[in-house]
Chain A
Amino acid sequence: MKGSLYALVYAAVLGAVCALLLTAAAGVTAPYRQANAEAEETLNILMVLNVPLEADISAKQLGEVFKNNLREAERGGITTYLYSSPEAQGRIQAIALRFSGPGLWGPIKGFLALEQDMKTIRGITFYEQEETPGLGGEIVTEGFRKRFVGKTIHDKDNNVGIVICKPGSAKEQNEIDGITGATMTCDKVQAMLNEAIKSIVEEKQ
């Protein structure tokens, strides 16, 4: 009995010490982590819209570029960002929409940018994902993201939706080559993109 009580107290003390340590660490790193996450998001929006940026831009400058060029708007229940540079005088040059959904291991979040015709894909980025490094994680690479550029969000019969297909088999205007060994991730990305695209298109009609 005495042994049990000691074990209980020991576990409680050890647990409390560990919890305290972690809380302290989380508190110390929180502002850094948050700043990282925010800068990452801003950078992603600017990058996906192809807003011209200097190479070594600070987080503060990022915020300024963002303010000067972009306007936030709700559309079809999702957040969109309208790109209109000061030179364009109010004319909307492109639009970015936020998409998210479940990935293989954790949530995937990102932005999809469309040209002003609202049909052609201008770019895509992922700012949060926990896919398998080297496989599904490859969705963040430029090589994969570039495959989206210039594709359209509907097929030639005007059916809305994109298809991420087997690597090397993309033929149609709305088909994108997937990643070898990451079929599950690609399927999930395709589903979340189509969901976002549909809500935008429906809103427009």
Chain B
Amino acid sequence: MADKQLACMTCEPKGLCGGRGLLTLKEGAWANNPLAIQILGICSALAVTNRLENSLVMGAALIFVCVGSNLLVSLLRKRTPHRIRMIAEVAIIATFVILFDQFLKAFYWDMSKQLGPYVGLIITNCIVMGRAEAFALQNPPVLSIVDGVANGLGYAVVLAIIGFFRELLGTGEIFGYEVLSGQWYTPNQLMILAPGAFFALGIVIGIFNAIKGPVAEEKK
């Protein structure tokens, strides 16, 4: 996997992140974007992106969970018995996910109702588990936080892009406000439905890869 290379990259040790902070951020959010490049976690990306607001909250949830679980897994990395490390990771991830879910239920009731089961399903999101396994287990806490932010952000931005276009084209609205006037724009219901999610995600992945170029494939 490409992120192995990242974890082993030796930069001169300086600062809190050992000089690898910026690189880690760039890798997670752009060059190795979990959604657009690694194609992980697309289930939720397809399901909740029919409205921009839902997409943003879901992105925030993933950033929170990713940062929290990366930090804890990294702090415990030298004490965690190798054999049960994955169970430990899942327990930590589940804790953070439920915390966020409770928070939504208590203070953002309407949003919690909208997202329904998908907040809880972050527990099984491959991105979170993947970062804990591939990065946090081998790296110090601060750098792991950076990695969590980077990957969470990478996911959130792609979700926001998809959510923006699906809501705009599917309902003619943004954040529930009419943008494309109903007088001349007929909302394309397809964008709200599941096929619209596949189209939007496919196009975004295509654009990401086109900009990044095919070099990444060969490097592996």
Q: Which residues of A contact B (CB under 8 A)?
A: 3, 6-7, 10-11, 14-15, 18, 21-22, 25-26, 28-29, 32-33, 36, 40, 105-106, 129-135, 137, 140, 180-181
Least CB distance from A10 to B in Å reads: 6
Q: Is B84 an interface residue (CB 8 A)?
A: yes
Set A29, A132, A133: member contacting B102, Cβ < 8 A: A29
Least CB distance from B49 to A in Å reads: 9
Q: Which of A3, A14, A181 has the most CB of B within 10 A?
A: A14
Bound Cα distance A42, B48 (Å):
28
Who on chain B is nearest to A17 by CB? Answer: B95
Who on chain A is nearest to B193 by CB? Answer: A181
A contact face: mostly helix, strand, loop, or mixed: helix
Are B88 and A131 neighbours in the complex by a CB distance under 8 Å?
no
- A-B contact count, CB below 8 Å? 81
Query: Given known contacts A10-B84, A11-B84, A134-B192, is B91 in contact with A33 (CB within 8 Å)?
Result: no
Q: Which residues of B contact A (CB under 8 A)?
A: 47-48, 50-51, 54, 76, 79-81, 83-84, 87-88, 91-92, 94-95, 98-99, 102-103, 105-107, 109, 113-118, 189, 192-194
A-B contact pairs, 6 of them (CB 8 A): A14-B76, A18-B91, A21-B99, A25-B98, A40-B109, A133-B115
Set B54, B105, B194: member contacting A29, Cβ < 8 A: B105
B contact face: mostly helix, strand, loop, or mixed: helix
Which chain B residues border A3 with CB–CB below 8 Å?
A: 81, 83
Bound Cα distance A32, B106 (Å):
5
Query: Given known contacts A22-B95, A32-B106, A33-B106, is B194 in contact with A105 (CB within 8 Å)?
Result: no
Are B48 and A133 neighbours in the complex by a CB distance under 8 Å?
yes
Who on chain B is nearest to A21 by CB? Answer: B95
Bound Cα distance A131, B99 (Å):
22
Least CB distance from A188 to B in Å reads: 15
Are B83 and A180 neighbours in the complex by a CB distance under 8 Å?
no
Which chain B residues border A28 with CB–CB below 8 Å?
A: 106
